[in-house]
Homo-oligomer: A and B are copies of this chain.
C-alpha cells in the first residue's frame, strides 16, 4: 500500500513538472504567474493537493488538516491566487454582488446611504450594483426582480420610497432573493428592516417650537404618498399635543418635498393676516423655499419668523440663517442595512434578528428663536 502511494506521487511529479515535493520549499521563481491569472488548478498543482482541497481552504472549511491548510495557503499567498467570482458564482449560485434600489436619484441621501452601504459591503467582500428606478412605474416589481435575477444578486437593499412598495417586496420574496428595507415605520414582522424614527425628530421640533413660545405654528406637510411624511406628521402632532399647543388646520399646507412647493406653501401661510410666527417644513428643500419667501417679504428670520426643516441636508447648514432641522444618521443606516443583509446571506438559518432602529434628532441652528 505504502508503495502504491509512493508510486502515485512519483507519477504525479513526472507528469507535472511544477508540483512541489512534500517538504521542499515553494519555488521563488514565479515568473509564470504573470502570464495569466492563477486559478485553483495552479494552486492545487503547486501544493500537491486536489482542487477540492484548495476549494475547502478558500472556503474556510473545517475539514482540512492544519498542515494541509497552511501549505495550500502559503501557495495561495505566494502566487496571489484569488478565486474567480464568475466561476464561483456559476457553480454555487452566488454572485457576491449586492443591489441598491432607489428612486429619486437627486436626493442627497442616496449618495450618503450608498457610502455607508459600500463601506460595510466592501468589508465583507461584496460589491454593489446600483439601480435607480421610477417608483411610479407600473412594472416596478417585475423590473426589480429582473434586475436581481439578471445578475443573480445575493441580496438587495431597498430605499424609501421604493421600500414601501409591497409588490416589490413580494416579488423579491417569490424570487427567493434576500432583501433589507429601509423604512420609516414597520410594515410587517419580517424584521429585515432598518427603521428610522422620523416621528421622534418631528416631535422634538414641535416641542422646541412650543418651548420657544410659538403658538401660531405653520406646518408644511410632505406628500401623503410618502410613509416618512406620515410619520413626521404623526410625530409633529404628537409633540404639539404633549405641549398642549394646538395646530390650526388653516395653517397646514401640503407640499411636495420640493423647493418650489415650499415657496408656494410659505406664500400662502405668510400672506395671511394672522400669519404664523414659526413654520415647520417637512424637509429642508421646502424650508429653503420658506426662507426665500420670508426674505422676499422682508421678514427677518428668526426674529420675526422661526423656520425648521428636516433631513439636515447639506443645504441646511449652508443657508442663511442656517436651518434648525432634524438629522438622521444616513450613512450609518446604509451600513446597518448592508450588515443586516450580509448577515442574512452568510447565515441563512439564523434566528431573524430584530429590526435595527435609528432615531432622528433635532439639530438647533440659527433659524429658530423665541416667538416675537
**Cα of A34 to Cα of B86 in the assembled complex, Å:** 25
A90/B86 contact (C-beta < 8 A), A114-B105, A291-B320, A318-B285 known: yes
A224: chain B residues within 8 A (beta carbon): none
How many A residues are at the interface, by size bracket? 35 or more
Shortest Cβ gap from A45 to chain B (Å): 20
- Give Cα distance in the complex from A318 to B314, angstroms: 12
* Nearest-Cβ distance from residue A292 to partner chain B, whole angstroms: 5
Knowing A90-B86, A292-B320, A315-B314, the reply to whether A115 touches B95 (Cβ < 8 A) is no
Closest to A318 in B: B288
Q: Which residues 62-100 of A sit at the B interface, judged by CB distance below 8 A?
A: 82, 84-87, 89-90, 95, 97
Q: A150-B82, A259-B317 are in contact. Are A97 and B132 (CB under 8 A)?
A: no
In A280-327, the 8 Å CB interface with B consists of 285, 288-289, 291-292, 295, 314-315, 317-320
Q: In the complex, what residues of B have CB within 8 A of residue A149's CB?
A: 37, 82
Chain B positions within 8 Å of A85 at CB level: 150-152
A315 nearest CB across to chain B (Å): 6
At the interface with chain B, which of A122-130, A242-250, A347-355?
Answer: A122-130
Residues of chain B contacted by A84 (CB below 8 angstroms) = 90, 152
- In angstroms, Cα B106 to Cα A127, docked, is 20
- A–B complex contacts, Cβ < 8 Å, 25 sampled: A84-B152, A86-B87, A86-B89, A86-B152, A90-B90, A105-B111, A105-B115, A106-B111, A106-B314, A108-B108, A111-B111, A118-B130, A118-B132, A127-B129, A127-B151, A128-B129, A128-B130, A259-B317, A259-B318, A288-B319, A289-B318, A292-B318, A315-B315, A319-B319, A320-B320
